[in-house]
Structure 1
Amino acid sequence: MKRIGIIGVGEIGRAIVTGLCEADDKSPEVFLSPRGARAAAELSERYEGVQICADNQEVVDRAEVVIIAVRRQDRHEALAGLRVDGNKLVINVMAGVGIDDLRRTLATGAPLVRAIPLPAVRERRSVTVTCPSHPEVNSLFEHLGGVLPVTDEAAFNVFSALTGTLTTHYWYLATLTSWAIGHGIASDEAEGYVRSLFQEVGRALSDETRSLHQLAANHETPNGNNERIRTTWFGPANSEALNKALDDLLADLKWPRVRARTRSRAVS
């Protein structure tokens, strides 16, 4: 595997390093930017092949594959003045930053590929969406749990919007737990039961012979408890609100600058 540099050592950067370094086969050399100094220091102490560079330019110079994992709003400061030769491969994991946008920022002819790695890549069990398909990028993320290449950025942005629902699911489970606690159930018992209940849902999702609609139907009985909650709480209005939230997020991912200017004018 080629030498990998990571600019921006946040949650995703840490997960990628962990997934690479704790695999069964030989891990690659990894070069980290000084951004996120505490996390970078922890990773370099834990894994022999991980080194912290003096600055972002050194990361680029020493790596063959450069992963850019800074926050979207920090990219201009973090990437200002970087020289990226055409023989490098750049993987962009910043949400809402398109290929043309990043190419203008870096002023490079190097191949640029977008990707959506999730925290579960640390256990090498998360499918990563990429765009466009590139054999070396596909191989990297296949190694980290699986890869789903898509042909264009319009499709890529749809998948990116879907990832924005992840913490909503956790909050839904936390709300169920709080409801049970409010009705006199001990907090550890309430949370333990909710976790157990939805871990079973996770196991059921591995059965790809049934569609998601079929799985839902198989867990319901006519006029039963599950059907009652689904039809009274997750009714048409709730479904429409979720679709609108996703549409708004997708619009921001497609046209972040236009949307930002519109909001700025509305505030002024």
Structure 2
Amino acid sequence: MKRIGIIGVGEIGRAIVMGLCHGGGASPEVFLSPRGARTAAELAERYEGVQVCAGNQEVVDRSEMVIIAVRRQDRHEALARLRVDDDKIVVNVMAGVGNDDLRRTLATDAPLVRAIPLPAIRERRSVTVVYPSHPEVNSLFEQMGGALPVADEAAFNVFSALTGTLTTHYMYLATLTSWAAAQGVASDDADRYVRDLFQGVGRALSDETRSLHQLAADHETPNGSNERIRTTWFTPANSEALNKALDDLLADLK
């Protein structure tokens, strides 16, 4: 794919551009909407072949593949009166917006593919869930960390709900550093240690020969510190609350 357009240059749009331009080799031409003007201008100045268009229709007209990355609540304003020819490929990365909804908005017969690119796509280190499977879209995301096509939109929504836990993980780590600081440890030292501790855990995740349950077990000793925190804080009630929050989010995504 030689010409890619992106409508909505927020955090994910920015990460996609960086992923497309990451590393050596030829990068596609990238056309950005003026929405998110400061970020778009910065990316155009930083990367050769990245251009900011006068409007969303120009993005569509100049592209073979169009990635729509506007916020869910902004989609009608951003996509109103947009003409999308049937020979385009449209990639929908808007959380909670199904392809049926998007097709009604665009009034097009072009192929529509949903995708869940994550911020780490900027470094080509993130697998991207896609539905339905499409060879051109799969190839694009394979180049940026991997593509994971799923069987139906129900499965896609489950993965989308899982994505909603990302900032909770960061706040968990921030809570640990705040607790350490409250005990008199220097904040910078606590921050450095927690980051290093969980970066090590992240590296262990690359060992796919062990399940997540096995990794947890391998990091515990009977009656040890890890077992104590897990069993006293991550109680059945805590687990049930997390499952309930995910169930509610999944219902909204449907």
Q: Provide the TM-score with structure 1 as the length reference.
A: 0.94
Q: Size of the alignment, in residue pairs?
A: 254
CA–CA distance in structure 1, aligned partners of residues 95 and 25 of structure 2: 30
Q: Confirm or deny that 1:251 pairs with 2:251.
A: yes
Residue pairs, 1:187-202, within 5 angstroms: 187-202=187-202
CA–CA distance in structure 2, aligned partners of residues 220 and 181 of structure 1: 25
CA–CA distance in structure 1, aligned partners of residues 22 and 189 of structure 2: 34
CA–CA distance in structure 2, aligned partners of residues 251 and 95 of structure 1: 13
Q: Confirm or deny that 1:47 pairs with 2:47.
A: yes
> Which secondary structure does the structure 2 equivalent of 1:140 belong to?
helix
Which residue is 2:37 aligned to? 37
Which residue is 1:82 aligned to? 82
Which residue is 1:141 aligned to? 141
Shift of 1:22: 2.0
Q: What stretches of structure 2 of length at least 5 have no aligned partner?
A: none
> Which secondary structure does the structure 2 equivalent of 1:44 belong to?
helix
Root mean square deviation, CA, Å? 0.5
CA–CA distance in structure 2, aligned partners of residues 22 and 101 of structure 1: 33
Which residue is 1:57 aligned to? 57
Shift of 1:37: 0.2
CA–CA distance in structure 1, aligned partners of residues 24 and 251 of structure 2: 41
Which residue is 2:132 aligned to? 132
Q: Confirm or deny that 1:99 pairs with 2:94.
A: no
Shift of 1:23: 2.7
CA–CA distance in structure 1, aligned partners of residues 113 and 95 of structure 2: 12
Contact kept in structure 1, 2:22 and 2:124, CA below 8 Å: no
Q: Which moved more, 1:65-74 or 1:188-197?
A: 188-197
> Which secondary structure does the structure 2 equivalent of 1:67 belong to?
strand
Shift of 1:196: 1.0
Which residue is 1:121 aligned to? 121
CA–CA distance in structure 1, aligned partners of residues 197 and 11 of structure 2: 27
The sequence identity of aligned pairs, in percent, is 85
1:89-146 C-alpha deviation (Å, 9 max, x unpaired): 0000000000100000000000000000001000000000000000000000001111
1:120-179 C-alpha deviation (Å, 9 max, x unpaired): 000000000000000000000001111100011000000000000000000000000000
Q: Aligned AA for 1:190?
A: A
CA–CA distance in structure 2, aligned partners of residues 115 and 164 of structure 1: 14
CA–CA distance in structure 1, aligned partners of residues 152 and 109 of structure 2: 19
1:45-102 C-alpha deviation (Å, 9 max, x unpaired): 0111011111000000000000000000000000000000000000000000001000
Shift of 1:27: 0.3
Shift of 1:2: 2.4
Shift of 1:25: 1.2
Residue pairs, 1:208-227, within 5 angstroms: 208-227=208-227
Which residue is 1:176 aligned to? 176
Q: Which moved more, 1:139-148 or 1:19-28?
A: 19-28
Q: Aligned AA for 1:100?
A: D
Shift of 1:29: 0.3
Shift of 1:21: 1.0
Q: Provide the TM-score with structure 2 as the length reference.
A: 0.99
Q: Aligned AA for 2:242?
A: L
CA–CA distance in structure 2, aligned partners of residues 246 and 36 of structure 1: 30
Contact kept in structure 1, 2:12 and 2:119, CA below 8 Å: yes
Residue pairs, 1:7-22, within 5 angstroms: 7-22=7-22
> Which secondary structure does the structure 1 equivalent of 2:137 belong to?
helix
CA–CA distance in structure 1, aligned partners of residues 198 and 43 of structure 2: 32
Which residue is 2:161 aligned to? 161
